[in-house]
Structure 1
Amino acid sequence: MGEFEGKAALVTGAGSGIGQAVAEELARRGARVAALDVRTDAAQETAAGLPGGTERHLALTADVTSVDEVDRAVNAAVDALGGVDMLANVAGIPDDAALCHLMSPDQWQRVLSVDLTGPFLAARAVLPSMLERGAGAIVNVSSLAGLVASAGGVAYTAAKHGVLGLTKRLAVEYGPLGIRANAVCPGYIATPMNLPYREMVKEAVEATPAGRWAEPEEVARLVAYLLGPDAGYVLGAAFSIDGGATAL
């Protein structure tokens, strides 16, 4: 469980849900983690709860839609940790499954800013550190809604499809330079973001071959694999972790 010893990771959306689980998984495997969240208290709580606490890990606050805030946070991570070897883009928000004609342009823009522009800005800021090292790994969290049009509203679906395009292009541009990029597409994961919709998706969850919600830790283990050395030949791929939903 020490394959990330000597490595540094930045995790966005680390204050809860999948992001928190990813931070915990990477730390358990030996990485020093910069836990970034828009909520200062949540980022601090995550960092403090990792093995070694805040003496080993870093809490960062940033709105992933802000160029300046993301750049400052990444610079702080690079300074504190000596660079960034791994990036997990997890931060995201839902769109309440709003229909297109009922969605305001402001809501559309907000969802795309967090769910698609956020991963772009984080990757943009982290890549110079990885290029300097000649190595790195990025995992972007897309969604079941990045593969099909039945798992979110119009903004969320568009953004999560876009994340897959971003991932593929990063793999094409930076793979030859030693930097891998891949995506995961979670389905029904029991997180604070998803559980408020439990009644809305109850029948869909029960209809999956798995027939249940997944825990964030299950996604975190897949993310850790893709960030790690055993996935050295995996580039530009999108991995479903949806209980078989897309197999139906």
Structure 2
Amino acid sequence: MPKTALVTGAGRGIGRAIAIRLAAEGFRVGITARSTEQLKEVAATIEAAGGVVAVAPGDATVAENVAEVERTVSAALGPIDLLVNNAGYASAPMPFIEVDPADWWRVVETNVLGPMLFTHAVLPSMLKRGSGHIININSMMGSKLSGASVAYGVSKAGLMRFTDAIAEEVTGTGVALFDLSPGLVRTGMTANRPDLDALPEAAWSKPEATAEKVIELASGDYDALTGRFIKLSDDLGELAGQIDGDMRLLRMQPVPDAGSVAK
């Protein structure tokens, strides 16, 4: 029986690529974002290729919107087997003292509150059925000091701890959670980087590469890695073979100087 996936922030960029790839893999895909027009374009692309999709616009930071998205997708496609928390926000880099506090908090709300609300909405059904996957799109910025992106770093560090904590809480239930870092991707979110023109082409990864990693993690073959921070370059089979002791510890490596950190 086909599985159901829900992808947040699916109107463009990484979320769009993930939704299209999941549909091609045979998932019934629920897509959500604030822009209805963008979602309609993604849905048309999926349907043209023979995929099954449900459009459910909503704001990831509003509990009532999230609950309605979950109800809409579940009613149209069945219980959600895979949640990809991709919706994110990054404000323009600037010194902390120059930041608008409201915009600073919007970053944290989008990147932490959003995944929390969607996870809270889908997790009960997953636990009841004894299976499910939740993939939080994260960033190495959560482990790297950056005075120009304080809110983003704080939000991604918080998301890491959230993934780790919930994975621990649901150990043995058949539900697995992962942090996935796509690296540096050309999206609207990275367009305001001050070093944009200085970065070599090799520093960038494609949205489709992240989509492929999502397929791997959703396969169930690597559930032993639950709670782990996964980089796009990681060989999942190799990682799974290295598990020793507490397999839920975050796997964070020093960040290279080549500008390979982003969403």
Distance 1:53 1:107 in 2: 39
Letter in 1 for 2:13: G
User: What does residue 29 of structure 1 align with?
Assistant: 25
User: What does residue 109 of structure 1 align with?
Assistant: 105
1:75 pairs, out of 55, 71, 75, with: 71
CA deviation vs aligned residue, 1:71-112 (integer Å, no higher than 9, x gap): 011011111111000000000111212221111220121111
Q: Which runs of 5+ in 2 are unaligned?
A: 235-252, 258-263
Distance 1:91 1:242 in 2: 22
Flag the 1:242–1:150 CA change in 2: closer, same or farther, 3 A. farther
1:141 pairs, out of 128, 137, 150, with: 137
The runs of at least 4 consecutive aligned structure 1 residues that moved more than 6 Å come to 242-245
Following TM superposition, by how much is the alpha carbon of 1:196 offset from its aligned partner in structure 2, in angstroms? Answer: 4.0
Larger CA deviation: 89-98 vs 44-53: 44-53
1:238 pairs, out of 229, 232, 257, with: 229
Letter in 2 for 1:48: A
Alignment of 1:178-189 (within 5 A): 178-189=174-185
Flag the 1:17–1:151 CA change in 2: closer, same or farther, 3 A. farther
Confirm or deny: 8 A CA contact 1:98 1:153 kept in the other structure.
yes
Letter in 2 for 1:127: L
Confirm or deny: 8 A CA contact 2:24 2:51 kept in the other structure.
no
Aligned length: 239
User: What does residue 219 of structure 2 align with?
Assistant: 228
1:217 aligns with 2:212: no
Larger CA deviation: 170-179 vs 147-156: 147-156
Q: Which runs of 5+ in 1 are unaligned?
A: none
Distance 2:49 2:115 in 1: 26
TM-score relative to the length of structure 2 = 0.84
Distance 1:14 1:245 in 2: 30
Distance 2:50 2:162 in 1: 32
Distance 2:100 2:39 in 1: 30
1:173 aligns with 2:169: yes
Distance 2:148 2:3 in 1: 35
Letter in 1 for 2:178: N
User: What does residue 44 of structure 2 align with?
Assistant: 48
Letter in 2 for 1:223: V
Flag the 1:174–1:115 CA change in 2: closer, same or farther, 3 A. same
1:126 aligns with 2:122: yes
Letter in 1 for 2:79: G
CA deviation vs aligned residue, 1:136-191 (integer Å, no higher than 9, x gap): 00000111212312496111110011111111011101132111000112221012
Confirm or deny: 8 A CA contact 1:34 1:59 kept in the other structure.
yes
* Residue aligned with 1:42, SS: helix
| Greater per-residue helix proportion | 1
Confirm or deny: 8 A CA contact 1:145 1:152 kept in the other structure.
no
Flag the 1:55–1:237 CA change in 2: closer, same or farther, 3 A. closer
CA deviation vs aligned residue, 1:36-62 (integer Å, no higher than 9, x gap): 111111112112211567982101101
Confirm or deny: 8 A CA contact 1:185 1:242 kept in the other structure.
no
User: What does residue 87 of structure 1 align with?
Assistant: 83
Following TM superposition, by how much is the alpha carbon of 1:128 offset from its aligned partner in structure 2, in angstroms? Answer: 1.6
